[in-house]
Amino acid sequence: MKLSCDEATKICDKNQYGEASLWDKIKLSFHLFLCKKCGMYSKQNTILTKCYNNHKDKEGRTEHCLSEIDKKHIEQEVKARI
């Protein structure tokens, strides 16, 4: 049941996306109890995932439009070329 740190990080990544099996989660929990570095990796991975999801949600709600100044500037350039 010994798990290397490399294997633990792979399972940790799979666990973040809900792809880890029950047995993988049990092995990972035991490894994280013994290995503080992998525990830190797991915490950081969770934080990064939350930050990404928060940013992704905010980007989806933000409208990406030109400002009125930019619109007028483009309109002037188009009229100048006609």
7-66 pLDDT tens trace:
999 999 999 888 999 999 999 999 999 999 999 999 999 998 888 888 776 666 656 677
CA distance 60 to 30: 38
Residue 55 pLDDT:
79
The structural domains of the chain, with segments of one domain joined by +, span 5-81
Q: How far, in Å, are 21, 24, 42, 66, 79 from residue 3 at the CA level?
A: 15, 10, 15, 53, 68
Q: Residue 64's pLDDT is what? A: 67
Give residue 35's pLDDT: 95
